[in-house]
Amino acid sequence: MRRATFLFIVAMGLALAGAFAKDTPPNVLLVLTDDIGWGDLRCYNPQGQIPTPAFDALASAGMRFTDAHSASAVCAPTRYSLISGNYPWRGRTTIGAWKADEGSDLLPGQRTFAHRARERGYRTAIFGKAGFGASPARQPDGTIDWSKPLVEGPEQWGFDFSHILLSGHQAAPYFYHRNGRMVGDPARLLEYPRPRAATPETEIRFGGVGLPDWDPRAVGATLLDAFEEFVESPRPGPFLAFFNTAGAHAPNTPPGAIRGTPVRGRSGLHAQADMVVEADVTFGHLIAILEKRGLLANTVVILTSDNGGIPHPRAYKENFGHDAVGGLRGGKGLVWEGGHRVPLIVRWGDGTAQGSRVAPGSVSDELVGVQDLYATVAELVGAPPDPAQGLDSVSLLPELLGTRPADRPLRDHFIASSDHRYANALAEGEEAPSTEWLATLPRPPELPASLRHPIARAYREGKWSLKFDKDHRPASLHDLSADRAESNNLIQAPEHRALVGGMVERYYAALRSVRTAP
């Protein structure tokens, strides 16, 4: 962006930070759901068949974003982007650190939003799935020593308190870590084969180390207990809590109930839908914990998801009438809108017009990304702008507080990546642009190794979505205002030649940039 835009946004950020400093600093609760799509919430998809009363109540009490996107169509890269404010290719792996013992995606010097909050005197905590790598201690022969504290984990990521699952409930290790240490007796660890039932009505999809009493059905209740303990801490000061739900990722092992609220069977559909219910019920109890202690009105509550929904098996959609992607094309892992358009809802206040900083029941159509929550949190806690951090993150506060000038969109572009296992930018049988036509466009530049992975990407500018293949060549163009399902590829339409050429150049410029945020 131009220098004038940069100075304008910095000035606005400093003004907002100064305004917040005069008031009681707000608490921040950021809830990241897993594999929950744009169409899974009834406040986004009225035709949805899954009851989501807690999520819907949040939308009634705050602002719902209709064009929000995860940085990747799969979880691990998105989780890195959210916590760092960077696009995935600025991390250690680009495709995501999937294993709990390979180190995180954070590079030396990259600071998380928890670091920024802690610098401002906040108590910081993380709960549930970390999902972007960690480093356990090792014995001299290289084997992992789970009896010792993590070498790299929540403490190094800026969190004072933690109760986490390094890989979530879907992969080893099958036990919790609390404040960097294993919860349980290391002498009882066993190696689960694949597949294996851990307890009745549960499932272990991937083999690995775990405790014999591991029960994925108990994750939601366990994390709620830990969150309640953290909130009740006598330590003074505001808090930042990053809460990661189990729902709705497989294995689909919904509990019978959470704190007395029914879960299993409540959707009336299938176990995966019940895991959406699990996330909604867990979220409802988080709100209840805050409300019981008089904390809700001054807590900024943020809800989003790590990637798009799962519209398959298609039999679910056909038999039950539920569409997890709400009419979008694609789903988790894929480059189209269904793979990365996600719910994003923010509440700040008591739910009334007079007692809320964020207008209740408001809706924003601004193009935003989940990594924008990095800059948003930094601004909320009063952290000054840092040009070396949050390189691709834009604060949502001007939109949330109604101070954004009508002629200044929050973002001029956004880039979303596919899973490296699903790097197609065109569906099977879909016509690719001709060689002659591609020859008229700018050629892909020489790029660093981090951008040479076989990943498809979607480049958004306003209503336009331009998909690039794994070699960074343009493959399809869609006008989302007229074709949300991305069924009409306009890339070779003569009237859009100049548009495509300009978008290609700006996409390449973004990939080469040190920073895309102002």
**How many structural domains comprise the chain?**
2
Residue 473's domain spans which residues? Answer: 423-512
Q: Residue 1 falls within a domain, yes or no? A: no
Gap between the Cα atoms of 378 and 325, Å rounded:
31
Whether residues 342 and 479 share a domain: the answer is: no
Whether residues 378 and 454 share a domain: the answer is: no
Q: Residue 20 falls within a domain, yes or no? A: no
Gap between the Cα atoms of 79 and 47, Å rounded:
29
Gap between the Cα atoms of 191 and 482, Å rounded:
52
Whether residues 240 and 325 share a domain: the answer is: yes
Domain CATH number, residue 320: 3.40.720.10
Whether residues 204 and 117 share a domain: the answer is: yes
Mutual angle of helices 53-61 and 271-292, in 10-degree steps: 50
Q: Which of 400, 432, 462 is the last residue of a domain?
A: 400
What is the residue-level pLDDT of the chain in tens, covering all 518 positions?
Answer: 444 444 444 444 444 444 444 468 999 999 999 999 999 999 999 999 999 999 999 999 999 999 999 999 999 999 999 999 999 999 998 888 878 888 999 999 999 999 999 999 999 999 999 998 999 999 999 999 999 999 999 999 999 999 999 999 999 999 999 999 999 999 999 998 877 666 656 678 888 999 999 999 999 999 999 999 999 988 889 999 999 999 888 888 999 999 999 999 999 998 889 999 999 999 999 999 999 999 999 999 999 999 999 876 555 556 578 899 999 999 999 999 999 999 999 999 999 999 999 999 999 999 999 999 999 999 999 999 999 999 999 999 999 999 999 999 999 999 999 998 888 888 877 888 888 888 888 889 899 888 988 999 999 999 999 999 999 999 999 999 999 999 999 999 999 999 999 999 999 999 999 999 99
Q: What is the pTM of this model?
A: 0.93
DSSP letter for each residue of 258-303: ETTEE-TTSSSS-HHHHHHHHHHHHHHHHHHHHHHTT-GGGEEEEE
Q: Is 35 exposed, middle or buried (0-12, 13-18, 19+ CB in 10 A)?
A: buried
Under 8 Å between Cβ of 65 and 344: yes
Whether residues 498 and 388 share a domain: the answer is: no
Domain CATH number, residue 495: 3.30.1120
DSSP character at residue 38 = T
Under 8 Å between Cβ of 255 and 281: no
Whether residues 391 and 502 share a domain: the answer is: no
Whether residues 314 and 446 share a domain: the answer is: no
Report CA torsion sign: 312, 318, 319, 320.
positive
DSSP letter for each residue of 488-514: S--TT-GGGHHHHHHHHHHHHHHHH-S
474 prior amide bond cis, ω within 30: no
Q: Residue 417 falls within a domain, yes or no? A: no
**Helical (H) or strand (E) element with 477:** strand 474-479
Q: Is 99 exposed, middle or buried (0-12, 13-18, 19+ CB in 10 A)?
A: middle
Long-range pairs for 441-446: beta carbons < 8 A, 24 or more residues apart: 441/474, 441/500, 441/501, 441/504, 442/501, 442/504, 442/505, 442/508, 444/471, 444/472, 444/473, 444/508, 445/508, 445/511, 445/512
Gap between the Cα atoms of 101 and 138, Å rounded:
10
Q: Residue 223 falls within a domain, yes or no? A: yes
Gap between the Cα atoms of 124 and 155, Å rounded:
10
Q: Residue 406 falls within a domain, yes or no? A: no
* Residue-level length of the chain: 518
Whether residues 371 and 458 share a domain: the answer is: no
Whether residues 239 and 279 share a domain: the answer is: yes
Whether residues 388 and 455 share a domain: the answer is: no
Q: Residue 19 falls within a domain, yes or no? A: no
